[in-house]
Structure 1
Amino acid sequence: MAVAHVRRRAIAARAVPHISPALITSYAVDPPRSGSGPAPAAWGGPIYPTTVTNLPRKLIEPHNKDADEKLPLIRLHDLRHLHATMLLLAGVPVHVVAARLGHADPAITLRVYAHVIRSAETAAADIFAKALGGDC
């Protein structure tokens, strides 16, 4: 049983999520630029891990310098949670979200995002009650 668990994790770790063609096209037309020089890693070469990790801060800080409404500083990992939360609230099945996150088992996704699923269930119950003519 332990071998099967390790094998499932290895397979899930290799999964590559689908990326929208529109997103790919937008990057091809207007590739993101670092603070100086050409596009990061000349579009295909190796990149340093800190390049990706520091990207949200490099984008948000210049925006906040001149903006009336400041954006909160976020970590790259926060975008992962935002992605999962938005998919779950949009009604994407848990097993699909789990696959996009690389979770070997959807139970992991259910444990981490249980609060999101509970809030969606509450909203669904309110909608159902309203459809029946009840006061919420």
Structure 2
Amino acid sequence: MDIPQAHRKRQLADKLKLGKAWKGADKEADGYVFVTGWGEPVHPDTVSSLMASLIKKHNEAEDVEPLPHARLHDPRHVHATTLLLAGVPVHVVAARLGHADPAVALRVYAHVVNEQLAEAATIFADRIDGAA
């Protein structure tokens, strides 16, 4: 059994055990992936502090490459930046991030888009120079 299936199985067992005391969604499709022991969504601050403590615990171990401080939101930015630098269109990245309007992603990741614009100008100039 893979990790997501095992996690879901434990979550459903918790739901069954609590019965009417379960505060989560009734339908599986409406539920959250990570919930408290009584079915409510985990507060983002809880996950943020857990991330910091996991990084600290990792860094205290012997013979490990230390991890830098990271906020919960940082992997989201890495994901978006990586996709944009790989040439994925902004509207696709915005949809993956849950932005209703790609303009939000354009504002947040303008530095990445500007790098792409400069690269496109260089490519164009190289092609023009090669054609001359």
The bucket for the TM-score relative to the shorter chain is 0.5 to 0.7
Letter in 1 for 2:73: H
Count of residues in correspondence between the two structures: 102
Q: Write the distance in 2 (CA, Å) between the matches of 1:122 and 1:98.
A: 21
Aligned to 1:98: 94
1: distance between equivalents of 2:98 and 2:42?
Answer: 22
Conservation of the 8 A alpha-carbon contact between 2:58 and 2:64: no
- Unaligned runs of at least 5 residues, structure 1: 1-24, 32-38
Match of 1:80 in 2: 76
SS at the partner of 2:75? helix
1:1-136, aligned counterparts within 5 Å? 25-28=2-5, 41=36, 45-49=39-43, 50-66=45-61, 67=63, 69-127=65-123
Shift of 1:64: 1.0
Higher RCO, Cα 8 Å, sep 6+ = 1
- Name the Cα RMSD after superposition: 3.2
CA drift of 1:104 comes to: 2.2
Q: Name the CA distance, whole Å, in 1 between partners of 2:35 and 2:57.
A: 18
Unmatched tracts of structure 2, length 5 or more: 8-33
- Are 1:56 and 1:73, in contact at CA under 8 Å, matched by a contact in 2? no
Taking the aligned partners of 2:96 and 2:111, their CA distance within structure 1 comes to: 19
CA distance, structure 2, for counterparts of residue 46 and residue 114 of structure 1: 36
Q: Could you say which residue in structure 2 is the equivalent of 1:19?
A: none
Q: Kindly name which structure, 1 or 2, has the bigger radius of gyration based on alpha carbons.
A: 2
